[in-house]
Amino acid sequence: MAFDVDLFVIGGGSGGVRAARIAAAEGGARVALAEESRMGGTCVIRGCVPKKLMVFASDFPTQIADARAYGWDVQPGAFDWTRFRTALEAELSRLETAYRGTLAGAGVQVHDTRATVEDAHSVRLATGERITAKHILIATGGRPFVPDIPGADLAVTSNEMFHLPALPRRALVVGGGYIASEFAGILHGLGVHTTQYYRGAQILRGFDDEARGHVSNAMQAAGIAIHCGTDVLRLERTPGGIRAVATDGTEREFDLVLYATGRRPNSAGLGLEALGVELGRHGEVVVDDWSQTAVPSIHAVGDVTNRVNLTPVAIREGHAFADTVFRGVPTKFDHGLIASAVFTRPELGTVGLSEEAARALGPIEVYAATFRPMQTLFAGRQDRVLMKLVVDAASRKVLGCHIVGPGAGEMIQLAAIPIGMGATKEDFDRTVAVHPTMAEELVTMRKPVRTG
Ligand SMILES: Cc1cc2nc3c(=O)[nH]c(=O)nc-3n(C[C@H](O)[C@H](O)[C@H](O)COP(=O)(O)OP(=O)(O)OC[C@H]3O[C@@H](n4cnc5c(N)ncnc54)[C@H](O)[C@@H]3O)c2cc1C
């Protein structure tokens, strides 16, 4: 049977764009892609990129205060949110244009509309057009999940954070994951009185406990009011703002309530279940190691599969799919040992097993150091850095590395290379320190702080 295209990709985010480009430019495939919103997807338009730029913006008051301690005669002025937002929008438009250019350069046919799956080999565009394809890739990502509480419509999600008409004076962030915690840090850094509610016992669930405690303590010391074991019962509009009635019996008023309480895969209404594509409990598209669904001509990559929801993972899954199906290079993406960063202040960089997860597998040694780094100590700040290695007692392999402090995201990227190669603690010890740096601590910790 002759198909209109070899591959139809639904979703122009990190995973879909990579798969489309590789299949077309390197696999020689005829590729079409539908995007219902802006090209680039969550990461570029409403995720990693605008968020990190907001983190940068929020760092300046501290940097200016530090500059004064270093002898510079500078004063923090007022933050012009509208000016920043305009510049941010211009940057996102530039990136969107670059993404479109990449796809056009690869010969991918772009449809700026919603697409749904009609049968195993055809998609229907919202314009009414039907396109047949030998392969279909679902790369529709995810969206914020807001629990159904009274007044939920008064809250915003991360999607709206980049378009706020004005910065609030008082903000409540609900949630304890990395997105919630990062936004709490951003708002605080921009001068907003920030409160964070999380129903669990400690923010950043799933990360190393010691690292979580370190980040949480530092955020609170900086002035963010973190209330764990606390959830919102209802939100009410008041003359002065939004009242949050909480499970701890308190009623506090805010100007902005941000819900960052998880995300759900965008799989509803795509027509997948009717075709026999299996969906999981949260609507995630169930795939095998090759990102293939129960329908052989339909694959899925990225957040819609809810495996590890990070941009580089979506990109690698999309690339592996294109290599396998269109380049004759069967490639499985390995989801183990994925390094990541949380851009709170202080920042957290992590790779491999937490101390808790490693201990559950067998005897370990834990090497950890906390200290006040030279740069901020000089400026009179009490901030402490945490450097931590989790080592398998038998094989001596470094199973996990957790860093809290300035530049942790940059450092963990490099630490992930030897750890991925199976480096032992002795390999780390043999490495000569780069002095004076914070990272030298990673190769100079001689005695375990805990064993067992
Ligand atoms: C606030 C925030 C911060 C983040 N920060 C980081 C970070 O620092 N580092 C990191 O690695 N990850 C981060 N992420 C996660 C990262 O953005 C995602 O993992 C990544 O974007 C997933 O890529 P994807 O291709 O699966 O989906 P997406 O990027 O979400 O792309 C899916 C695209 O599909 C489109 N679409 C959906 N349905 C249809 C349809 N039926 N027809 C046509 N188009 C459709 C959507 O409009 C969207 O553009 C962050 C996410 C958020 C929300």
pLDDT along the chain (452 residues), means of 10: 95 98 98 98 97 98 96 94 98 97 98 98 98 98 97 98 97 98 98 98 98 98 98 97 97 98 97 96 97 98 98 98 98 96 98 98 98 96 97 98 98 98 98 97 97 92
Q: Which of 37, 38, 39, 48 best tests ligand 1's pocket when mutated (most atoms within 8 Å of CB)?
A: 48
Rounded CA separation 172/234 (Å): 13
Scan for tokens 């209330």, then name that residue.
227
Q: Which of 8, 9, 36, 42 best tests ligand 1's pocket when mutated (most atoms within 8 Å of CB)?
A: 42
Amino acid at 270: L
Q: Are 132 and 122 in contact (CB under 8 A)?
A: yes
Hey, is 23 helix, strand or coil? helix
- HEC sequence for 309-333: CCHHHHHHHHHHHHHHHHCCCCCCC
Q: Which of 8, 9, 43 best tests ligand 1's pocket when mutated (most atoms within 8 Å of CB)?
A: 43
What pLDDT was estimated at residue 417?
A: 98
Atom of ligand 1 nearest to the CA of 305: 26
Residues identified as active-site: 435
Q: Which of 178, 204, 311 best tests ligand 1's pocket when mutated (most atoms within 8 Å of CB)?
A: 311
Atom of ligand 1 nearest to the CA of 114: 42
What pLDDT was estimated at residue 355?
A: 98
User: What's the gap in Å between 409 CA and the centre of ligand 1?
Assistant: 20
All residues at 6 or more sequence positions from 152 whose CB lies less than 8 Å from its CB, including other chains: 146, 235, 259
Q: Which residue, among 45, 37, 209, has the nearest Cα to 140 in the 3D structure? A: 37
Q: Quick one: 447 exposed, middle or buried, by C-beta within 10 A (0-12, 13-18, 19+)?
A: exposed
DSSP of 65-109, one letter per residue?
HHHHHTT---------HHHHHHHHHHHHHHHHHHHHHHHHHHTPE
Amino acid at 127: T
Strand 348-352 to strand 340-342: parallel, antiparallel, or no bridges (unpaired)? Answer: antiparallel
Peptide bond into 418 cis (omega under 30): no
Rounded CA separation 439/300 (Å): 38
Hey, is 289 helix, strand or coil? coil
CA torsion angle for 49, 51, 53, 59 (degrees, to 10)? -150
Rounded CA separation 255/243 (Å): 9
User: What's the gap in Å between 42 CA and the centre of ligand 1?
Assistant: 3
Nearest CA to ligand 1 atom 42: 114
What pLDDT was estimated at residue 452?
A: 87
Scan for tokens 């370190």, then name that residue.
214
Atom of ligand 1 nearest to the CA of 161: 1
Atom of ligand 1 nearest to the CA of 301: 26
Joined together, the tokens standing for residue 16 give: 């879909």
All residues at 6 or more sequence positions from 208 whose CB lies less than 8 Å from its CB, including other chains: 350, 354, 355, 356, 388, 390, 400, 402
Q: Sign of the CA dihedral 372, 375, 380, 382?
A: negative
139 Cβ closer than 6 Å to some ligand 1 atom:
yes
Total-model pTM: 0.97
All residues at 6 or more sequence positions from 188 whose CB lies less than 8 Å from its CB, including other chains: 58, 194, 219, 222, 223, 224, 345
112 Cβ closer than 6 Å to some ligand 1 atom:
no
Residue-wise burial string across 263-286, b where 16 or more C-beta atoms lie within 10 A, e elsewhere: bbbbbeebebeebebebeeebbbe
Rounded CA separation 377/287 (Å): 50
Amino acid at 396: R
Hey, is 206 helix, strand or coil? coil
140 Cβ closer than 6 Å to some ligand 1 atom:
yes
Measured between alpha carbons, how far is residue 437 from residues 225, 375, 440, 442 in Å? 31, 10, 6, 10
310 Cβ closer than 6 Å to some ligand 1 atom:
yes
37 Cβ closer than 6 Å to some ligand 1 atom:
yes
Scan for tokens 């709206």, then name that residue.
160
Count the neighbouring beta carbons within 10 Å of the beta carbon of residue 109: 17
CA angle 276, 279, 29 (to 5 degrees): 65
Amino acid at 420: G
All residues at 6 or more sequence positions from 66 whose CB lies less than 8 Å from its CB, including other chains: 375, 376, 379, 381
Rounded CA separation 232/248 (Å): 9
311 Cβ closer than 6 Å to some ligand 1 atom:
yes
Nearest CA to ligand 1 atom 31: 13
347 Cβ closer than 6 Å to some ligand 1 atom:
no
User: What's the gap in Å between 310 CA and the centre of ligand 1?
Assistant: 8
